[in-house]
Amino acid sequence: MVTRDGEDQSLLLILGDASGKGLAASMLMAHLRAIFRALNSASLPLTRLVEQVGRIFRESAMAPYFATLVCCRANASGTIELCNAGHCRPLLLCGGKMTRLEASGVPLGLFCDGRYSAEEVQLDAGDTVLLYTDGLSEARNSAEDEYGEARLEKLVSDCQSLPAPELVGACLHDLTGFRAGEPLRDDLTVMAVRRLGPLHATSGVA
């Protein structure tokens, strides 16, 4: 999900994964998306936004459902805030170095009063943030080997000079080779966001 704040031209990017599968999980994510859209217009600080969404989601969703997500707010200056609610660790590619961004709180829906922190980073031209769901990192081949974060991190490090859409494509291509025909067992989403210049960014999503 991507929304734009009309006042400061910031972008709100959210990548999440609801518990369960099929229609129930799709409905949960649609519900979360609606809550974020409704509250984002209030221009709340990022951590406050995630906490408010979590409270509403917990009060309106039936147990034991929950959702993990990464919520990012990117500004034209290149500053990006990230709040990770129990989701897979985003990968930050800055100046040729890769850093993992750890979770700052529990998944949404577990508690009404969950508290979160945000990490702020400054992206320069060419820097990239890669977000993904565990349908990528936890995919398995016919021998029950897991794709894993280590393999993903090596691939992303080796391919970080690629444009954002091609970086996403490289992740999916490598995963296909690893699976060797074994079907995916979970939903899969990969998003790469790259700063191109002072006021421009590009993304690739699959």
The pLDDT tens digits for 34-56 are: 999 889 877 899 999 999 999 99
What are the tokens at 138? 């936890």
Q: Which amino acid is at 46?
A: L
Give the CATH H-level superfamily of domain 2-205. Answer: PPM-type phosphatase domain (3.60.40.10)
Instruction: Answer whether 182's CB lies under 8 Å from 162's CB.
Output: no
Q: What's the rounded mean pLDDT across residues 14-30?
A: 84
Domains of the chain, by residue range, sit at: 2-205
Q: What's the rounded mean pLDDT across residues 5-30?
A: 79
Q: What's the rounded mean pLDDT across residues 162-169?
A: 95
pTM: 0.86
